[in-house]
Amino acid sequence: MPRRVVLTGIGLVTPLGIGTEESWQALVAGKSGIAPITHFDHTQFATHFAGEVKNFDVTRWISSRDARNIDRFIQYAVAAAGLAIEDSGLKIEGEFAERVGCYVGAGLGGVTSIEAACSTMAQKGPRHGISPFFVPMIIVNLAPGQISIRFGAKGPNFSHVSACSTGAHAIGEAMRAVERGDADAMICGGTEATVSPLGVGGFNSMRALSTRNEAPEQASRPFDRDRDGFVIAEGAGIVVIEELEHAKSRGAKIYAELTGYAANADAHHITAPAPEGEGAQRCMKLALKDAKLAPADIGYINAHGTSTKMNDTNETLAIKKVFGDAARKVMVSSTKSMTGHMLGAAGGVETGICALVLARGIVPPTINYTTPDPECDLDYVPNTAREVRVAHVLTNSYGFGGTNACLVLSAWRE
């Protein structure tokens, strides 16, 4: 019998704010975190805006000296982990430290450090232009590695890398680790820092990004007829999950229970989803089966909802196929309309959001939904949050390579 797993800590570092409360209050108020790019000169790029993390003071978690040798995606991960651990009240010490693991991934890793190293090497040559910290700055598993070192978690420690499904996969696999007894608590989620020349330029070359440069805050508009691409964003979403009895024994506050998880593949195309979201359909069905729930039991879906023509129509079709008549009743929103698409961090952030939906009885909206797309005709909670209690939520994450992850969270009941 698998052990039950609950979520006890949330750490969010997003374009909407540093910390859970700042991000959550902006979400329920329907605010956008999208603004002109400040990390680099964007004038020669087709897209001039992104979801950057603002007012980030890394020295709250990492010394300024150490921070010079730690890429931004790792800095965000350490910060979000610190926030999540503090929120959970978990004490990682003594023999218990061996029962605390860390699964944190990223989609691309240290892109900004790669860019900087290439530039320096071109100027100074390989003997003097490459830092001895270069490799530890760019590899994805140094996100959980640095978290482990700084907070003393000695249990299972590695990264899942699956493009935009990364954060959800990390949490789902951490859930499995706790269920089978490999750990009693896990620090898990995703991080990303690819608002950079290569990141923006690469997605521009694919014509995947919005170019609504005259109105950045209105650029991310999932399910709206006038959407023209996604908005790249950065940050981290980390949660603390625990075995139920352990959480209860220490009097932890419980946001939600993790009741279902599934992962699969489209086996179709490197970037395009399978027609009618066929892989997404199967993944949602598997997650519901794992949670022992019927589609009608789900009150809210946090959609992948990227604001691209292909994703939004296929995800809508997939929901209709899986939910049948219940598709017209379930609330569906894309918080990417406010955060932008945080790539490998998205699933971690959105899992935290779903836990807050269950705990606080508020469903965030899909903002910038002004012109309905006839092909996207579900209840997307347009523009205004709703105060409503739901018992079960589903969060979808789909990534390049046809990789899919779905998580089900349920309201905590004794």
114 shares a domain with 157:
yes
**Mean pLDDT score across all residues of the chain:** 97
Q: What is the pLDDT of residues 269-292, one digit of tens each?
A: 999 999 999 999 999 999 999 999
Q: What is the pLDDT of residues 125-139, one digit of tens each?
A: 887 778 889 899 999
pLDDT of residue 126: 83
Distances (CA, A) of 101 to 4, 208, 260, 263: 17, 36, 20, 21
pLDDT of residue 15: 98
pLDDT of 413 above 90: no
The H helix count followed by the E strand count for the chain is 13, 15
- The answer to whether residue 163 is domain-embedded is yes
- The answer to whether residue 38 is domain-embedded is yes
Choosing from 42, 169, 246, 304, the catalytic residue is 304
Q: How far apart are CA 376 and CA 361, in angstroms?
A: 25
Number of domains in the chain: 2
- CATH number of the domain that 347 lies in? 3.40.47.10
Mean pLDDT of 55-63: 95
- The answer to whether residue 414 is domain-embedded is no
196 shares a domain with 166:
yes
Asked if residue 140 lies in contact with residue 76, where contact means CB atoms within 8 angstroms, the answer is no
Percent residues over pLDDT 90 in the chain: 95
pLDDT of 167 above 80: yes
pLDDT of residue 129: 77
140 shares a domain with 287:
no
270 shares a domain with 244:
no
| 304 catalytic per annotation | yes
282 shares a domain with 231:
no
Q: Return the amino acid letter for 12.
A: L
386 shares a domain with 240:
no
The string of DSSP codes covering 48-112 is -EEB---S--GGGTS-HHHHTTS-HHHHHHHHHHHHHHHHHT----GGGGGGEEEEEEESS--HH
Q: Which of 223, 249, 275 is the last residue of a domain?
A: 249
pLDDT of residue 314: 97
pLDDT of residue 293: 98
Percent residues over pLDDT 70 in the chain: 100
pLDDT of 154 above 80: yes
264 shares a domain with 245:
no
Choosing from 341, 376, 392, 406, the catalytic residue is 341
The domain in which residue 240 lies consists of 5-249
Q: Which of 184, 214, 249 is the last residue of a domain?
A: 249
What is the distance, to the nearest Å, from the Cα of residue 183 to the centroid of all Cα atoms in its chain? 22
265 shares a domain with 230:
no
Distances (CA, A) of 23 to 54, 270, 335: 12, 32, 11
Lowest mean pLDDT among 1-15, 48-62, 97-111, 124-138: 124-138
* pTM check: above 0.85: yes
- The answer to whether residue 192 is domain-embedded is yes
Q: Which of 192, 215, 249 is the last residue of a domain?
A: 249
Distances (CA, A) of 298 to 155, 257, 388: 33, 14, 13
Q: What is the DSSP letter of 44?
A: T
| 341 catalytic per annotation | yes
pLDDT of 301 above 90: yes
Tokens read off for 8: 């006890």
Q: How far apart are CA 16 and CA 304, in angstroms?
A: 18
Dmax over CA atoms of the chain, in Å, equals 65
Choosing from 42, 102, 160, 164, the catalytic residue is 164
Q: How far apart are CA 100 and CA 168, in angstroms?
A: 19
- The answer to whether residue 254 is domain-embedded is no
pLDDT of residue 271: 94
Q: 1 falls in which pLDDT band (50, 70, 90)?
A: confident
Asked if residue 56 lies in contact with residue 77, where contact means CB atoms within 8 angstroms, the answer is no
355 shares a domain with 221:
no
